Structure 1
Amino acid sequence: MKQILNYFKTFNKVILSEKIPFLYTLFLPAGLFIFNNYKSLGQNIPVSHLLLQTVNYVGYIIVIAALNGIGMQLINFRDSGFLKTYTMISGGDKKYPVLGLFLSEMLFGYLCTIIFALVVAVFSIKNVLLILMFYTITYLIAATPVMLASVVIGSFNIKMNTLGTGINIALLFLIWLSASRPTTDNLLMELIYGLDPVDYVTQVLIAGNNLLFTQNQFVFQALSVGVLLIIFMIIGIWAIPRVKLNSIMMRN
C-alpha cells in the first residue's frame, strides 16, 4: 500500500503540473456546455433537467481521462522504459505503479468533473450543494470501473503514435453512439450499448438522476449499471498482471 501511495504522489505532481490535459479534459467540454446552454442562464431550470443535459459531457471527461491518462500513459511509460524501471523498483510487481497511476487519474478526473459541476451549478445556484454531491457519488460509480478497464490498453502490442490516432477516432465514435442511440426498455440492449464506456457513464448519471428525482425505471437501470460495473472491473483486474513491460520500439 505504501508503494502505491508513493507512486500516487509522484504521478500527481506530473499530472497537475501539465496544462494541456486540463485543456481538452475540462475546458473543452465546459466551454461547449456554456456555449450550448448560455441562453438558459437566469431561467428557472429544473435541476433534474439540467443534470440530464450534462450526461454526455461527463461521459467525455471520464473516458478521455481514462484513455489518455491511463491507457496511453502506460504505453508511453513502456516505450520510454519507465514502466520496467518502476516495476523493478517495486520488486518486480507491476501492480504498484499501475494502481498508483489509476488512483492519480481518478483524482485528476474527479477534479475535472467537480470543476465542471461548478460550471453547471452557475445555471442553478440554489442547488449547488446538491449538484456537487450528485457528481461526487456518480463519479465514483462511473469512473472507477472505466478507469480500471482502461488498463487493458497497456496489454496491447501497439505503437504510441498509432494508439493516439486510434483513440481519438474511437472516442468520437463512442460519444456519437452514446448520444444518438435510442432509449430501450430491454436489459440486454442496455448492456450492449453500455459496453461503450461513454454510454455506461451516461447510464450511471441517468440512473442517479431518476433515483433522486423520479424513481422511474430505477431498478431496471440499476441492474444494468451493476452488471456493467462488474464487467468493467473484471476486465481491469484481469488486465493488470498482463500489462506489457517491453517496448516494441526498442529494447529496454
Structure 2
Amino acid sequence: MTRVFSRLLAHASVPLALLAGLTGASAAFAQATPTIALVPASKPPPVPNGMKVTCLTGPDSLQSSPTCPVIQYGGNTTWAFSFIDNRVSYGVVTYDAANNVVKNVTRDGARYVYKMTVDPNAKTVSIWGQGNAKVDVAWSDLPTAPPQVVQVPANAPPPVPSGLKVTCLKGPNTLEPSPTCPVVQYNGHTTWAFSFIDNRVSYGVVTYGPNNQVLANNTQDGARYVYKITVDSNAQTVSFWGQGDAKVTVPWSALP
C-alpha cells in the first residue's frame, strides 16, 4: 500500500478522491464468500453410485426435510449426500451449472445433513448432521468454475471510480476505440480493466457485484488501454492485454 500511495503522490494531477478510493477494502482483492441455498430434496442432480439424498429437519430428528442445504460457490453447487450403507460420512459432491460432477470426496465424521453454515473468519463451510456432528470444508477446497470473458458495450459501463476511464481499443497497435470492451465474469461478478485519466501505464481493475457495487478496486501496473482478455485454465490466471501487447496477469484466486 505504501508503494501505491508513493506512486500516486508523485502525480500531482491525481484527484484526492482516487487516493481515498484506494483505501479500505477496495484496495485489495476480496475473496468471494460461499452462500447456502435451500433446494428441493426431491430434485437433486445425478447422485453418484453408493450415495443417497438424506436431508433432515433437525439434528435429533429422523424426519425428512422437503429441502436440502447446498453450497453455492464460484458458479458451482455442492451437495452433502449420505451413503446407502449409512456410514458416518458425507459424500461431498460438487456440480457445475450443467450438473456435471466436478469433484467427489468422502468426508468422515457426520451424516444426514440438516444445515450448513459459513464462517467468514475461518473461511470454512460447516455441514451439520445427526446429533449436531459436523464436517468443516475449507473454501479453498470448493472448486470454482473458470472465469469467462465476454464483450459488453463500451458506452454502457457500470459507475466508473474517480480517476479512471473506459479505454478499450481494437488492437495492440492502434488507438482506434472499440465499440465493445472485454470483461471477466467470475463468481457471479464482473471485472473491468479501466484506464487512468492521467494515462499512466496501469489498469484500474475493478470488480462489481450484482447491483454494480464495487467489490474490489486495484491498481495493476504494466499495461494500459485494454483490447483483449485471456484465461489460462492450466495456470488459473487471467491476462489483461493492452497497448503494444503489454499485459497484466492475475490469478483466479485474486478475483472476488
Same fold (TM over 0.5): no
Instruction: Looking at secondary structure, tell me which structure has more strand per residue.
Output: 2
Q: TM-score range by the shorter chain?
A: under 0.3
Higher Cα Rg, which structure: 2
Greater RCO (CA < 8 Å, at least 6 residues apart):
1
Name the TM-score, length of structure 2 as normaliser: 0.22
Instruction: Looking at secondary structure, tell me which structure has more helix per residue.
Output: 1
